Amino acid sequence: MLPPLVGRWVAIPKRMCGICGFVYLHGASSSTGDRSVLEQMADSLHHRGPDETGHMVRDGVALANTRLAIIDVADGHQPVHNEDGSVHVVFNGEIYNQGALRADLAGRGHRFSSQADTEVLAHLYEEEGVDFLHQLNGMFAIALWDERGRRLLLARDRLGIKPLFYTEHEGRLFFASEIKALLAVPGMGVEADPAAVDQYLALRYSSGSSTLLKGVHKLLPGQRLVVDLAAGTWTAENYWEPWKSNAARPTQSLDEAVGRVRELLDDAVRLRLMSDVPFGAFLSGGLDSSGIVALMAQHMDEPVETFSIRFSEEPRLDEGAHAQLVSRHCGTRHHEVDCTADRVELLPRLLSHFDEPFADPIIVPTHQVAASAREHVKVILTGEGADELFGGYTRFVNDAQIRRLARLPGFVRSALGALARRVPSAEPLQRALVLADQPASRRALTWIEAFDDGERRSLSVHQPAIADGAERLYADCALDAPGSHPLEQLLFCELRLRLPDCMLTRTDRMTMAVSLEGRTPFLDHRLVEEALWMPHRFKVNGRSEKDVLKRALAPLLPPQIPQRKKQGLAVPFALWTRHGVESSIRRVLSPQSVRRRGLFHPSYVASLLDRWGPHAARHSQLIWSLLCLELWFRMYVDTGADRLDPSTPLSEVS
């Protein structure tokens, strides 16, 4: 074990921020209005970086950065350039191994003018070209302009922790950390994509490279986009695909795997405890966040600041007692917030930070606990990624039971199906039999699906051109899985789709909304690569989820924590939607409103509301999805008097 960090934090250059800019694709020079356009884009990202804004506009290219100063507060200005000004970089994120990279570059003769890790990127590009990305350990969205080569490089980190969007408009390629910066460009049109709307109804968010807006794309995790003005081309390509490696992997014993996971996670936490400002951790009382806090406590000589959510209105979802247990065990300075139905009043404002409809109700408590943490710290560590890497969701255990059903003789399954149809209480069996006939990729989608195929067809007035977009997305993803076992395919779909597009998006937007930096030790790419090739039986073992991780973290935690049944962060949105804000929802989704929007059959939406009872959790989920979609249309697509101000409380939305 490394010695404790001296003091509360250790200095190494880091910053969180927003980036944006554009490049002329056809050799045109900068116009007199370019700086104004760039400033409008950057202003829309002020919440991501309230401390400082930097701009660069020159022959055919414009770069901007809004900075949340975390380290090298006095001297970490962006854009950053190399010695002769031929390479310019704006950067959102952190490079955890920048110290070693800096030392190596200095040994090769490079001169540095600051302690900023952004400057390391400029010099590393000089040495390695676009392949410098392979040497980075961190989370990042990067825009780099090579003046000599007349080349713009856009890149996103391997797991998609930091976002990056782009679009082509009037001969220029625009990019930004958030879509709102693209929409700040004068003349940029806003049109919803019907196929993406259909995908949203299935997933409750957009996934893959698509967004809800036509022509606006996400750079995928582990991708880079190179605009080569000299050649007149621009292409997006993957630079990180370890799951496609054919290298032989030595067979590990479970004990070896446990030791390796603990070693890599411990080092990942250590690297992320570097900052010039106070930091803390989200603590739910579950295995993942508790393990992060325990490792933090071993590396620090002052108490860890921890923050958790309580649900006083629904005690069965409240994990506060478990968080307090871990806090006492690790000696943290603990803070709690109680999330109640009245927080849903903020829904329009919260959704405006996503720039797309996003129907995960966990954004409500996430924003609240992030705002509470920001009163004490500027950096927060989270436990995200562990479930996707090590099989932490109950559905992975259930899927194993489903696969056993699939192996039964056909006549036995037919008899069970007939029984399930006759006995109302046997509905779970009927659902299991349906799942047993599906391929792993389809089950991966079915486990998380909101509106299923039939419901979407009944709901929609106009069938989109691509009605099976979500299913094809999952099928294509499963083909890339590092192994053929169904569990490996399920885990891979979670890692490459739901993790970046739902979990990491949720945390990025809600922490950045309050100018708080989030760090994810479980997504250190070294640990991810180890987990990708680990035998699946080390992850889900019988009825035990995350077996290898539980064994790795058990010595650090109270015994009750690894032994707990998986609960996961959940919110009482059935309670909220039925009793807290029901009248607001019925008003927003009234037949007149639905008819005016023209997307859905008013009678179908009305039937959902009519069948909505206090225990109808799934109905609440579907209604919540429609509510978030309608609010998004009003904030982003509607114009004039119909446009909704995001600061409007939900109860005042007419």
The full set of domains in the chain, from first to last, is 15-240 (3.60.20.10), 244-391+508-563 (3.40.50.620), 573-652 (no CATH)
Task: Please report which confidence band the pLDDT of residue 504 belongs to, taking 50, 70 and 90 as the band edges.
Answer: very high
- Under DSSP, is residue 203 helix (H, G, I), strand (E, B) or coil? helix
Residues 73, 75, 79, 81, Cα dihedral to 10°: -140
Segment 522-546 mean pLDDT: 92
Query: What's the distance, CA 389 to chain centroid?
Result: 14
Segment 577-604 mean pLDDT: 92
In the chain, helix, strand, coil percent, each to 5? 50, 15, 35
pLDDT tops 80 at residue 144: yes
Residue 54: the pLDDT is 84
Residue 348: the pLDDT is 97
Q: Mind giving me the DSSP string for 448-493?
A: H-SS-HHHHHHHBSS--S-TTHHHHHHHHHHHT-SSSSHHHHHHHH
pLDDT tops 80 at residue 4: no
Query: What's the distance, CA 512 to chain centroid?
Result: 12
283 secondary structure, DSSP code = -
pLDDT tops 70 at residue 615: no
pLDDT tops 80 at residue 639: yes
Residue 539: the pLDDT is 95
Residue 652: the pLDDT is 95
Cα torsion 529, 535, 540, 544: sign: negative
- Structure token pair of residue 490: 């399920």
pLDDT tops 50 at residue 396: yes
Residue 265: the pLDDT is 98
Contact predicate 84/102, CB 8 Å? no
By C-alpha distance, which of 207, 116, 209 is closest to 166?
Answer: 209
Contact predicate 136/97, CB 8 Å? yes
Question: How many percent of the chain have pLDDT more than 90?
Answer: 66
pLDDT tops 70 at residue 478: yes
By C-alpha distance, which of 504, 279, 510, 486 is closest to 379?
Answer: 279
Cα-atom radius of gyration of the chain, to the nearest Å?
Answer: 25
> Up-side HSE of residue 446: CA atoms within 13 Å toward CB?
19
600 secondary structure, DSSP code = B
The mean of the pLDDT values for the chain is 89
Q: Mind giving me the DSSP string for 405-421?
A: HHTS-HHHHHHHHHHHH
Task: Please report which confidence band the pLDDT of residue 334 belongs to, taking 50, 70 and 90 as the band edges.
Answer: very high
pLDDT in tens, 15-42: 458 899 999 998 766 677 899 999 999 9
Phi first, then psi: what are they for 261, rounded to 5°? -65, -45
Segment 415-440 mean pLDDT: 84
pLDDT in tens, 437-472: 899 999 999 999 999 988 998 999 986 555 678 999
pLDDT tops 50 at residue 3: no
Surface-to-core class of residue 188, CB atoms within 10 Å of its CB (0-12 exposed, 13-18 middle, 19+ buried): middle
Residue 41: the pLDDT is 92
- Under DSSP, is residue 358 helix (H, G, I), strand (E, B) or coil? coil
Contact predicate 4/270, CB 8 Å? no
* CA–CA dist 615, 244 (Å, integer): 45
Contact predicate 528/260, CB 8 Å? no
The CA distances from residue 72 to 12, 61, 87, 111, 113, in Å, are 7, 27, 21, 17, 12
pLDDT tops 70 at residue 9: no
Identify the top-confidence range among 68-72, 126-130, 431-435: 126-130
Q: Which of the following is catalytic: 17, 330, 493, 502?
A: 17
Q: Using the structure block, give the residue that is written with the tokens 């979609």.
A: 629
Contacts of 97 (CB under 8 A, 6+ apart): 135, 136, 137, 138, 271
First-to-final CA distance of the chain = 59
pLDDT in tens, 166-218: 999 999 999 999 999 999 999 998 999 999 999 999 999 999 999 999 999 99
Segment 233-238 mean pLDDT: 92
pLDDT tops 60 at residue 12: no
- Under DSSP, is residue 208 helix (H, G, I), strand (E, B) or coil? coil
Query: Using alpha carbons only, what angle is made at residue 333 by residues 332 and 334, rounded to the nearest 5 degrees?
Result: 95
* CA–CA dist 37, 144 (Å, integer): 19
pLDDT tops 60 at residue 69: no
- Structure token pair of residue 391: 């099989």
Of the listed ranges 64-78, 113-127, 467-481, 612-626, the least confidently predicted one is 64-78
pLDDT tops 60 at residue 476: yes
Surface-to-core class of residue 417, CB atoms within 10 Å of its CB (0-12 exposed, 13-18 middle, 19+ buried): middle
pLDDT tops 80 at residue 8: no
Segment 518-525 mean pLDDT: 97
pLDDT tops 80 at residue 340: yes
pLDDT in tens, 266-321: 999 999 997 667 789 999 999 999 999 999 999 998 999 999 999 988 888 888 89
Question: How many percent of the chain have pLDDT more than 70?
Answer: 92
The CA distances from residue 535 to 389, 412, 492, 645, in Å, are 12, 32, 13, 51
By C-alpha distance, which of 82, 144, 67 is closest to 119?
Answer: 82
Reported in sequence order, the residue ranges of 150-269 that DSSP labels E, i.e. its strands, are 151-156, 165-169, 172-176, 217-218, 223-228, 233-238
Q: Are strands 61-69 and 15-24 parallel, antiparallel or unpaired?
A: antiparallel
Predicted model pTM: 0.92
Q: Is 628 assigned a catalytic role?
A: no
Residue 415: the pLDDT is 85
Residue 2: the pLDDT is 32
